[in-house]
């Protein structure tokens, strides 16, 4: 192992090393806080002045990160934020955790990853470690990041170190957090893996090395493709059960009693969040370049993306049964975040449902305790007071099953409820229509 690697490993283990995190969003801020708690001095970088100023004031804008933790770390001098990328030169290790959205043509948009890599390369010095955490297609670290960093003339594994470690953030999960969720590490060389493992050991309980960056990249895509495909399967089963007149929720509950060979997944109004609806498409896109069609991914995406329309058909059915049309009816959506008990609306199926119903002439409104305001294309909406809005609606649609909702009171107050999450299980009422 090179002298530079040995020195960096010693600095990481002793806690003398300084870490930089590029991106202070849902991944970057929790990660920065965990590493600072683990004893490293951390600088979080972001282009957003609002985020930088908030962190430096000791505030948190991420629900899962208590402001008290941020404030304590800032006061101790363990955590700071900056938009001055020249400070990257002070860092012994840099983690890239910037967004990787899809473009309008559903192709990967890695422009922010490239910009981050160029910012690091401009200031790269011997002995630095760079880790990519942003979700992407297999081969990105080697084919895209390495050439940018290698342009400085330093050899990977000797002059600098490069690895990939997929983020595994699950917002709102009370059991698993950044520290106790096992971390996958894949380096460009065995030395890169070893150094990256020493870094993550400061903040993560369990670190699992794999043989390459491509393997680590594929791990993340398998995890979310697994969920996407299985959710697609159970959504199709829900559509089948609807036509057969069978309760899909009863079917799943009964099947889950089998102690082997079955894992329950649940239908819903569609997929949301930044990972499950998007990550499988990175893999599908990569495989197309290799003349291979990822059929399971494409079919699951087709089924899952059709669920908001199915929900709207159920709304129309519920109104029709009461001799009302969608046009002119007051439709109240409960929950607009992509999952329960979080404040994230990215890719939320609720947005599609609201847009579809509005396009059909419905007078749409919503309530969500985590989202006070919502921009729906050109329409600005505000969260309505719960029970008065329920009483004033022609139909109530439960899209996100927040724990705080009093479902029995909602059913009693509403004229009819379309339940897309089985949130009203245990409540018997002819008012309830499930997907």
What CATH code is carried by the domain that includes residue 362? Answer: 3.40.50.720
Asked if 137 and 286 count as a contact pair (C-beta separation under 8 A), the reply is yes
> Does 226 map to a domain?
no
222 lies in some domain: no
3-state DSSP helix/strand/coil percent for the chain, to nearest 5? Answer: 40, 15, 45
196 occurs within a structural domain: yes
Q: How would you classify residue 288: left for phi > 0, otherwise alpha for psi between -120 and 50, otherwise beta?
A: alpha
What global pTM score does this model have? 0.93
Q: 341 with 331: CB under 8 angstroms?
A: no
Q: How far apart are CA 341 and CA 401, in angstroms?
A: 8
Decide if 192 is catalytic: no
Instruction: From 230, 376, 386, select the one nearest 296 (Cα to Cα).
Output: 230
Evaluate whether residue 402 is within a structural domain: yes
**165 and 62, same domain (yes or no):** yes
**Contacting residues for 19 by C-beta, under 8 A, at least 6 apart:** 32, 35, 40, 41, 42, 43, 91, 92, 93, 94, 95, 199
How many CB atoms neighbour CB 400 within 10 A?
29
Q: Which structure tokens are listed for 177?
A: 């957090």
Confirm if 193 and 186 have CB atoms less than 8 A apart: yes
Q: Domain for residue 299, yes or no?
A: yes
Residues 370, 376, 421, 357, CA torsion sign: positive
Which residue matches tokens 């009964």? 254
- d(C-alpha 107, C-alpha 116), whole Å: 19
DSSP assignment of 307-319:
HHHHHHHHHHHHH
CA distance 28 to 24: 4
Instruction: Report the percent of the chain where pLDDT is more than 90.
Output: 91
- pLDDT the model gives residue 2: 85
Concatenating the DSSP letter of every residue in 139-201 gives THIIIIIHHHHHTTSPPBTTTBEEEE------TT-SS--TTTS-EEEEESSHHHHHHHHHHHT
Per-residue model confidence as pLDDT tens digits over 33-90: 999 999 999 999 999 999 999 999 999 999 999 999 999 999 999 999 999 999 999 9
Overall domain count for the chain:
2
User: In this structure, are residues 160 and 191 in contact, taking their beta carbons and an 8 Å threshold?
Assistant: no
Residues with Cβ < 8 Å from 289, sequence gap 6 or more?
Answer: none
Asked if 259 and 408 sit in the same domain, the reply is: yes
- Token pair belonging to 223: 């995890």
Q: Which one, of 414, 382, 399, 371, lies nearest residue 308 by Cα?
A: 399
| Same structural domain, 236 and 335 | yes
Looking at the fold, whether 388 and 349 belong to one and the same domain comes out as yes
220 occurs within a structural domain: no
Q: Are residues 124 and 204 in the same domain?
A: yes
> How much is the pLDDT for 273?
85
221 assigned to some structural domain? no
Q: What is the largest CA-CA distance in the chain?
A: 79
Token digits of residue 35: 């590493």
One domain, residues 237 and 194: no
pLDDT of residue 278: 86
Q: Residue 50: enclosing H or E segment and its boundaries?
A: helix 49-56
Spans of the chain, pLDDT less than 70: none
| 166 and 268 in a common domain | no
Does 270 lie in the same domain as 177?
Answer: no
**To which residue do tokens 């790269």 refer?**
124
Clarify whether residues 237 and 175 are in a common domain. no
Residues 157 and 46 in one domain: yes
| Owning domain of residue 376 | 232-434
Catalytic residue among 97, 192, 275, 312: 275
């Amino acid at each position: 192992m090179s002298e530079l690697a040995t020195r960096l490993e010693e600095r990481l283990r002793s806690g003398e090393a300084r870490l930089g995190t590029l991106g202070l969003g849902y991944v970057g801020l929790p990660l920065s806080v965990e590493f600072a708690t683990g004893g490293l001095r951390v600088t979080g970088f972001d282009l957003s002045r609002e985020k930088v100023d908030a962190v430096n004031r000791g505030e948190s804008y991420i629900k899962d990160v208590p402001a008290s933790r941020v404030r304590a770390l800032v006061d101790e001098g363990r955590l700071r934020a900056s938009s001055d990328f020249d400070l990257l030169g002070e860092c012994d290790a840099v983690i890239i955790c910037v967004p990787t959205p899809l473009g309008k043509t559903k192709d990967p948009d890695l422009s922010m990853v490239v910009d981050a890599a160029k910012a690091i390369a401009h200031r790269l010095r011997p002995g630095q470690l760079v880790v990519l955490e942003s979700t992407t297609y297999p081969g990105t670290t080697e084919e895209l990041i390495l050439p940018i960093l290698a342009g400085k003339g330093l050899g990977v594994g000797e002059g600098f170190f490069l690895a990939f470690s997929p983020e595994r953030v699950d917002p709102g999960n009370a059991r698993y957090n950044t520290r106790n969720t096992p971390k996958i590490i894949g380096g460009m060389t065995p030395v890169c893996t070893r150094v990256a493992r020493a870094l993550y050991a400061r903040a993560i309980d369990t670190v699992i090395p794999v043989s390459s960056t491509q393997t680590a990249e594929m791990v993340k895509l398998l995890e979310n493709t697994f969920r996407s495909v299985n959710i697609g399967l159970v959504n199709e089963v829900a559509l089948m059960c609807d036509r057969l007149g069978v309760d899909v929720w009863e079917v799943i509950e009964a099947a889950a009693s089998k102690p082997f060979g079955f894992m329950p997944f649940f239908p819903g109004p569609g997929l949301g969040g930044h990972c499950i609806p998007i990550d499988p498409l990175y893999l599908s896109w990569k495989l197309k370049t290799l003349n291979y069609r990822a059929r399971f991914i494409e079919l699951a995406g087709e089924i899952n993306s059709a669920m908001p329309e199915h929900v709207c058909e159920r709304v129309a059915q519920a109104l029709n049964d009461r001799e009302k049309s969608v046009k002119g009816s007051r439709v109240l959506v409960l929950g607009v975040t992509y999952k329960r008990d979080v404040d994230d609306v990215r890719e939320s199926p609720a947005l599609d449902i609201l847009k579809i119903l509005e396009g059909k002439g419905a007078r749409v409104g919503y309530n969500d305790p985590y989202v006070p305001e919502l921009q729906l294309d050109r329409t600005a909406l505000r969260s309505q007071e719960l029970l008065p809005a329920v009483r004033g609606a022609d139909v109530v649609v439960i899209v996100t099953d927040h724990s705080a909702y009093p479902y029995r009171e909602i059913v009693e107050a509403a004229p009819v409820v379309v339940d897309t999450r089985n949130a009203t299980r245990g409540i018997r009422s002819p008012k309830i229509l499930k997907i």
